[in-house]
Amino acid sequence: MSVYLYGTLWIGAACAGAGLLLLLVYRAGDHERRERNNDVNGLVFAIVGVLYAIVVGFVVTSQWESVGNARDAAAQEANGLVQMYWAADALPAEQRTQVRADCLAYGRQVRDVEWPAMSAHETVPVQGQRILERLGRASRPPASASDSQSDQLRDALNTVFQNRQQRLALAHQNLSGMMWFVLFAGGLLTVALAYLFGVPGRIAHLIMVVSLVGTIGLLLYACFQLQYPFGPATDLGPTAMTSALRVFG
């Protein structure tokens, strides 16, 4: 199911439930009493709403930064692999052929196997790590290599290793249960306060509550999707690694 269709259904169901609950509140009566408490309720609603907006804004910003970090890590990993490929010129012919073959195999493993697994929130197979370890052994410079050539090979390999670890860590970095509790509890409290207002006319009150629930539902759905940087909602594909594979031929 499309991430947008799923989100529409989720938010629509929440809005429909909120609207039905408001109609039940009106059937219970006591509208005049709620209207007399509008001043006090408005003050509390403003305080709770501002605090909740700050928390949600912090979470969304943090999650979006994680998406940016994941994109940067993937790009640096691919760049390091390209540097490794060209730095192999300093190696003997047989060793150079092996290093470049491993670079090609690793790039394909990331693009064709690891990326779909990360997008589906599944565990990444270990084959990619094994290929990278094999690449590390194959790229050991001979004694005749200059210091600059050795440093170039070592730096390129370290770049791939470090950014691979960051990419995998971000792929499995989820919001904690406590944070989800705060988000849902804060949202429910904010919506509950909206029911306590005495608004002249049910339609106006209904629009107010449904709009509030829709907005909170949309933000919660964004938090849920953005906790997966490589999920379908972020549209973060293996573009950098695909470009690297084109360089390899």
What integer pLDDT is reported at residue 2 of this predicted model?
82
| Gyration radius (Cα) of the chain, Å | 27
DSSP summary character for residue 1: -
d(CA 155, CA 139): 11
What integer pLDDT is reported at residue 13 of this predicted model?
94
Please give the residue range of the domain that contains residue 77: 3-248
CA angle 130/135/140 to nearest 5° reads: 135
How many residues are recorded in the chain? Answer: 249
- For residue 224, the Cα-to-chain-centroid distance in whole angstroms is 8
Provide the residue-wise pLDDT of the chain in tens; the chain has 249 residues: 688 898 899 999 999 999 999 888 888 777 677 777 778 888 999 999 999 999 999 999 999 999 999 999 999 999 999 999 998 888 888 888 999 999 999 999 999 999 999 998 899 999 999 999 999 888 887 766 666 777 888 899 999 999 999 999 998 888 899 999 999 999 999 999 998 887 777 888 899 999 999 999 999 999 999 888 998 888 889 999 999 999 987
User: How many domains does the structure of the chain reveal?
Assistant: 1
